[in-house]
């Protein structure tokens, strides 16, 4: 009892001398972590995902961090995949360091250090995915990504990945599966956080390099996660997002070859069945506001489904269209001319050549008196962020989907703004207003 009284007395004396003691939070160190482990934080960019940050645990509580105290070597590999030396191993440049919690959030005192890394579209060593060509077909795949982080003055090493975080991807359910017509499609989905009784559905169909059975690839390879971003969701007051994945590529015909609309592909019936079942299984979806879009292969399939089901979709948004105009009949033009569609393409696209695809198709729709068809036709696909050269930095011309994901498209084929109720609008603002 005397010890307790003494202890309390001592505390009261300290409290009188330092009244802030009563309000100073006590930070507990985590004694269960592996001191050699690290956490990767991934972010999505216009050209795909990159490792943006790495979080390191420290034994002692600390209040400061210095980027120059650390060195990072990264290694990328995948079984059966040959990589160039600059793709396989290299130094990661650290641009900033700060004291953080285990999730990478900055704190004034803690037992983690977060290193912020330089990311650039021309640095393959930054990326945890790789475009792999196998059996004559290319596709993006997750690969093994390993870091060795060294503290210069103590030679302490962190070389074991404990976990990784990808906030944009974490918004999605990646476990969807649908089977019909003896074909199984994987899909990702997002359910909005909204008080609306009914919400629209945004469907995104990936390009030819994102096929497989892991729909996370269909989301991250070109930042399709952005359709669940707070900004784009705000235009719709919350929208469902559905991202199906083809096991191979959307334009595959029965012989395993590419179709450009000259014959039927093998996936469109199963895909439409997936969409229709998803809508029925989620009664909160507004059936009058189902929007379909995609790029390249996915642009082909978006137009294919609109041609097959012109009364089902409220609107389409299509970039880098791969469907050849010569394979669309005049009767089909008449059947879809009242479907609102916004096309996005770049003039320097050598993969889906615009004069063979979108330009004549758009002109035919306009000549058919289509009342609500728009076409943002860019000179080049540039760096919208300005970090890597801005308008002087050109991505491949085929990558016009960047303008859709970033909600950048806001002008028509004649260069004039697209207007809605007299106001200039972007492609997503326009899409949110469409209703059949």
Q: What is the pLDDT along the chain (436 residues), one digit of tens a residue?
A: 333 333 333 333 333 334 333 323 333 334 345 689 999 999 999 999 999 999 999 988 999 999 999 999 999 999 888 899 999 999 999 999 999 999 999 999 999 999 999 999 999 999 999 999 877 788 999 999 999 999 999 999 999 999 999 999 999 999 999 999 999 999 999 999 988 899 999 999 999 999 999 999 999 999 999 999 999 999 999 999 999 999 999 999 999 999 999 999 999 999 999 999 999 999 999 999 999 999 999 999 999 999 999 999 999 999 999 999 999 999 999 999 999 999 999 999 999 999 999 999 999 999 999 999 999 999 999 999 999 999 999 999 999 999 999 999 999 999 999 999 999 999 999 999 999 9
Q: Which CATH class is domain 167-432?
A: alpha beta
What is the per-residue pLDDT for 195?
86
149-188 as b/e: b if 16+ CB within 10 A = beeeeeeeebeeeeeeebebbebbebebebeeeebebbbb
Give the fold, CATH level 3, of 37-165.
Answer: Immunoglobulin-like (2.60.40)
Please tell me the distance from the alpha carbon of residue 107 to that of residue 161, in angstroms, as a whole number. Answer: 22
Lookup result for tokens 């006590």: 26
What do you get for the CA distance between the two ends of the chain, in Å?
A: 79
Of 254, 30, 56, 248, nearest to 150 (Cα)? 56
Per the CB < 8 A criterion, the answer to whether 50 and 127 are in contact is yes
Kindly list the domain boundaries of the chain, sorted by start residue.
37-165, 167-432
Per the CB < 8 A criterion, the answer to whether 210 and 245 are in contact is yes
Please tell me the distance from the alpha carbon of residue 289 to that of residue 163, in angstroms, as a whole number. Answer: 38
Share of the chain above pLDDT 90, in %: 88
């Amino acid at each position: 009892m005397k010890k307790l009284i003494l202890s309390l007395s001592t505390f009261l004396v300290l409290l009188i001398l330092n009244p802030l003691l009563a309000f100073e939070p006590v930070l507990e160190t985590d004694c269960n972590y592996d001191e050699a482990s690290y956490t990767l934080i991934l972010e999505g960019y216009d050209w795909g995902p990159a490792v943006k940050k790495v979080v390191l645990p420290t034994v002692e509580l600390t209040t400061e961090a210095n980027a120059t105290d650390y060195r990072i070597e990264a290694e990328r590999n995948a079984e059966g995949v040959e990589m160039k030396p600059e793709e396989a191993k290299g130094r990661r440049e650290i641009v900033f360091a700060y004291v953080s919690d285990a999730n990478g959030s900055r704190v004034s005192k803690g037992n983690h250090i977060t290193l912020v890394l330089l990311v650039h579209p021309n640095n393959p060593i930054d990326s945890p995915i790789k475009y792999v060509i196998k059996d004559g077909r290319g596709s993006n795949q997750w690969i093994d990504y390993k870091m060795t982080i060294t503290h210069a003055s103590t030679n302490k090493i962190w070389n074991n990945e404990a976990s990784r975080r990808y906030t944009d991807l974490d918004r999605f359910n990646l476990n969807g599966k649908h089977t019909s017509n003896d074909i199984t499609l994987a899909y990702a989905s997002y359910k909005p956080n909204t008080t609306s009784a009914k919400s629209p559905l945004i469907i995104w169909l990936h390009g030819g390099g994102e096929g497989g059975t892991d729909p996370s690839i269909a989301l991250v390879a070109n930042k399709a996660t952005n359709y669940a971003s707070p900004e784009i969701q705000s235009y719709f007051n919350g929208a469902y997002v559905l991202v199906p994945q083809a096991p191979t590529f959307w334009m595959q015909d029965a012989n395993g070859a590419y179709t450009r609309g000259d014959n039927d592909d093998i996936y469109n019936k199963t895909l439409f069945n997936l969409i229709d079942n998803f809508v029925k299984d989620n009664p909160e979806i507004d059936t009058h506001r189902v929007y379909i879009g995609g790029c390249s292969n996915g642009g082909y399939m978006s137009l294919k489904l609109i041609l097959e089901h012109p009364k089902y979709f409220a609107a389409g948004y299509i970039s880098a269209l791969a469907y050849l105009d010569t394979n669309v009949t005049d009767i089909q033009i008449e059947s879809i001319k009242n479907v609102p569609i916004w096309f996005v393409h770049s003039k320097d696209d050598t993969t889906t050549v615009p004069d063979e695809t979108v330009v004549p198709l758009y002109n035919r729709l306009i000549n058919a008196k289509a009342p609500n068809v728009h076409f943002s036709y860019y000179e080049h696909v540039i760096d919208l962020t300005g970090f890597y050269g801005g308008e002087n930095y050109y991505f491949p011309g085929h990558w016009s989907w960047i303008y859709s994901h970033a909600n950048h498209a806001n002008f028509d084929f004649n260069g004039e703004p697209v207007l809605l109720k007299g106001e200039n609008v972007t492609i997503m603002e326009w899409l949110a207003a469409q209703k059949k």
